[in-house]
Amino acid sequence: MKSYTKSAEAIAALSDEQFRVTQQNGTERPGTGELLGNKEPGIYVDLVSGEPLFASSDKYESGCGWPSFTKPIEDKHVNEVRDNTHSMTRTEVRSKHGDSHLGHVFPDGPADRGGLRYCINSASLRFVHRDEMTAQGYGDYLNQVEDI
């Protein structure tokens, strides 16, 4: 089984924007994330720890300006934390092992797919194309990635 950890080397390799988002609970500007329009088959992993977070088959266009997913690839890799900043109560989404700030989850997703919208910053994710998943140690998740 692959081990997912946060390391000083991974943190040092982050761009300024990636650091601001993942380590300082920042948010990228809507519509600017490089993975927003990605429609390739694969999985999205935590930029810091590499833990698998979301499958392309659960990604959808919500119109909110950030990549949106209906569910995590495995609940065990995601922590949901109450967030009372900005004069509102929301549910923050963080990676379990990397402790990276990913974004927030809202109850306004597609009803026929569970009703949740995981609104996630591209700056917190690395995309692994289906063709590379086995080579990069994510072969166990191939069955969760459909052709798009």
Q: Which of 74, 87, 117, 94 is nearest to 22 (CA)?
A: 94
Kindly list the catalytic residues: 119
Domain 8-132 belongs to what topology? Answer: 2.170.150
Which pLDDT does position 147 carry in this prediction? 59
Tell me the HSE value of 40 on the side-chain side, using a 13 A CA sphere: 14
pLDDT at 65 over 60: yes
Q: How far apart are CA 66 and CA 36, in angstroms?
A: 6
**pLDDT over 90 percentage in the chain:** 86
Query: Where do the domains of the chain lie?
Result: 8-132
Which residues neighbour 129 within 8 Å (Cβ) at sequence distance 6 or greater?
A: 40, 41, 42
Q: How far apart are CA 112 and CA 86, in angstroms?
A: 30
Contact 82, 92 (CB under 8 A): yes
Each residue's pLDDT tens digit, 16-29? 999 999 999 999 99
Which pLDDT does position 1 carry in this prediction? 57
Question: Does this model's pTM top 0.85?
Answer: yes
